[in-house]
Structure 1
Amino acid sequence: MSFRDKTVLITGASSGIGREFAVQLAKQGANLIITARSEGELESLAASLQASHSNIWVKVVPLDLLQADSVKTLYSTIESMNLSVDYLINNAGFGKFCEFTAEGFDTYQKMLTLNINALSELSYVFLPHMKAQNAGGIINVASIGSFQPLPYQAVYGASKAYVLSFSEALSGELLDSNVHVMALCPGTTESNFMTNANADTSKMNLMPASEVVSGALSAFAKRRHYVISGRINYLVSLVPRIVTRLKTIKIVASMFKESVLKKQGA
């Protein structure tokens, strides 16, 4: 699989995993459309990538996917540039580490809008071109939390379980084509995500975003329908297959209870 001269749309591209996708795909000769809320960071990234790789172009589309009709706006903006998207990387999303009722419900509404609705709509509007060309694909960023309930991250975990299920279902519909869909399931990663999630990372081993992305691109080239970042995370994902669901819930709850409640000041 080659990304050279292909057009890749990356959401949440201003930092973390999204930014690293942009960096590594630029090295592979991909042309990029990068979007996020942070226009300054996007412009800086675009300038850096184009200075380092004279054979590519990078288009910046500042956008808040939480806003109504934002996906339609993004799609029409790309159309107005006379461009089409060969590959889509649905990376934009966020979570919160907290006891469920300790966060305002409006935060959860935004989380579901971004993690589920926007990701699904972006797939819906850009997939037809890929199918017509019988080429391209989508990488949806899920989570290691897709494989089990996440006490103290209840809504986030549920939203990422959706992403995994949705991605695998689409990959099943496309088995007889050259269009491929994959779910990327990272664990704790070096990014702004953990800070924005109000997570206590003092006892966490954070995986570099560069390793997460390189592993994802390798797995995507092999047409994997999902990939888990890191050997330890893979082993963690097997826990629900080994013990009862109740035991799984207790294990995960004990992992996060003390650090989350301490962070909340409870």
Structure 2
Amino acid sequence: MDLETNIRKASELHNYISRKIKDHKALYSKSGYERDLMVLDKMKRGFLSKDISSLTWLKDESKGIADTLGSHVEEPNFLNKIYDLLTILDQILVEIKKPNFQKTVLITGGSSGIGKELSILLYKQGYQVLVVSISKEELKLLHKECKEINPSGKLETLEADLTQTESISKILKWISKLNLEVGVLVNNAGFGLWGKSWELSSEKVDSMLLLNIGAVTRLSNEFSKRMIERKHGFILNVASTASLQPLSYMAAYAASKSYVVSFSEALAAELAPYGVKLGILYPGTTKTNFLSVAGIHKENKKGSLGNLAYSIAMDPKDVAKVAFNAIQNETKRSVPGFMNKAHYYSTKIFPSWIVKRIADRIFKKE
């Protein structure tokens, strides 16, 4: 349950317990009656004002409070209701402490496309958003857009090229200088290349693999260490529906995203005993600059890959909403959109050679 739901439930239980104590006033001494109402009042002020000191006191004194409040009202389930309230107050305390690190999100590639829309969505929801991008201009535009939405919101940006290994150290030093702890890492940065594998630029392919594989691996490992120390955290690695089968004409890209899936699933199992969770997002074709960077463009030719890709592409805002929900719920696997879900589940139902043959026909480059 989220914080507001817990507060609402605590309020309902508080009102029930208060009413029962008042109904049994005759069984109390004057001082005992006033003491119990004082404790209940402190409870209510604690959870309504989200006061950490009051809630910590309640947690430490919970056994005595339960015995005291339950000593005069001999009704079935009354004591259970008190314990239910104290349990919820404990959950509220955990939720209130979360903003210290769990509401701080680091997003790579967060100044354009899905990353930008997710950054804005998190910013609107009160998260402290840390955005890393290679584009200084895009970061400036993102900062301007966010501050127009909420001038007092928390947003920090860093220009860094994640194909350069020293950028990982740069990010860690930047976060340390900000004196922040990252509760959520979103490995979103990445790009693809379309064409016959041997015809693609070797330099571009190397950069793609360094970004899609190297940066994801290093950032996941670095922040895993920090999250393990706190026994909590969430990593969202952005894969792709391209990872679901080998993909001719995007061979290296699809392989890099298959790596992300395999690495993420294995790392999730390693992290589970430490209270750290990891999720995978599987976006498909999206209306971002990904297609043009990959070399896929709209064409006059009927039935071309470019025309098909642009016609079925999802709005990045819709993909960002799915990513946001994945962060909120710490979801293991998230597939946005009907077409992408159909693709995802087709790989579970049909033989891989059928799915690959269909994909090859779609992505074939003459």
What TM-score, normalized by structure 1, do the two folds share? 0.91
Deviation at 1:78, TM superposition (A): 1.6
Shift of 1:175: 2.7
Gaps of 5+ in 1: 262-266
Question: Structure 1 CA distance, aligned partners of 2:318 and 2:228?
Answer: 30
SS across alignment from 2:158? strand
Partner of 1:264: none
Of 63-72 and 89-98, more deviation after overlay is shown by 63-72
CA distance in 2, matches of 1:250, 1:86: 41
Is 1:197 aligned to residue 304 of structure 2?
Answer: no
Aligned counterparts of 2:119 and 2:246: Cα–Cα separation in 1:
31
The range that moved more, 40-49 or 215-224, is 215-224
Cα deviations by residue, 1:67-116 (Å, 9 ceiling, x for unpaired): 23111111112212222211111111110111111202222111110000
Work out whether 1:126 is the aligned partner of 2:223.
yes
Considering only aligned residues, what root-mean-square deviation do their CA atoms show, in Å? 1.8
Task: Show the 5 A alignment for 1:177-256.
Answer: 177-200=274-297, 201-204=306-309, 205-256=312-363
On the 8 A contact 1:168/1:226 being kept in 2, the answer is: no
CA distance in 1, matches of 2:99, 2:148: 17
Q: Which moved more, 1:51-60 or 1:196-205?
A: 51-60
Match of 2:260 among 163, 168, 188: 163
Q: Does 1:43 align with 2:43?
A: no
**Amino acid in structure 2 at the alignment position of 1:206:** A
Aligned residue number for residue 199 of structure 2:
102
Once the two structures are overlaid, the 10-residue window that deviates more, 71-80 or 2-11, is 2-11
Answer 1 or 2: higher relative contact order, Cα 8 Å, separation at least 6. 1
Q: What stretches of structure 2 of length at least 5 have no aligned partner? A: 3-94, 298-305
Q: Report SS of the residue matched to 2:107.
A: strand
Helix, strand or coil at the partner of 2:246: coil
The CA deviation string for residues 120-165 of structure 1, in whole angstroms up to 9 with x for no partner, is 1011112222121122211111001111111110000000011111
- Residues of 1 paired with 2:186 and 2:208: CA distance? 18
Q: Partner residue of 2:105? A: 8
Q: Which moved more, 1:54-63 or 1:88-97?
A: 54-63
Cα distance in structure 2, aligned partners of 1:108 and 1:38: 20
Q: Is 1:152 matched up with 2:249?
A: yes
TM-score, length-scaled by structure 2: 0.67
**SS class of match (1:35):** strand
Which residue of 229, 239, 256 corresponds with 1:142? Answer: 239
Q: Would the aligned equivalents of 2:129 and 2:156 in 1 still touch at CA under 8 Å?
A: yes
How high is the sequence identity, in percent, across the aligned residues? 35
Structure 1 residues 41 and 226: alpha-carbon distance in aligned structure 2, compared to 1, 3 A threshold: same
- 3-state SS, counterpart of residue 207 of structure 1: coil
Aligned residues: 259
CA contact (8 A) 1:10 1:89 kept: yes
User: Once the two structures are superposed, what CA deviation does each residue of 1:164-211 show, in whole Å capped at 9, x if it has no partner?
Assistant: 111122222233444221111000001111110111431221101111
Query: Aligned to 1:174, what secondary structure does the other structure show?
Result: helix
Larger Rg: 2
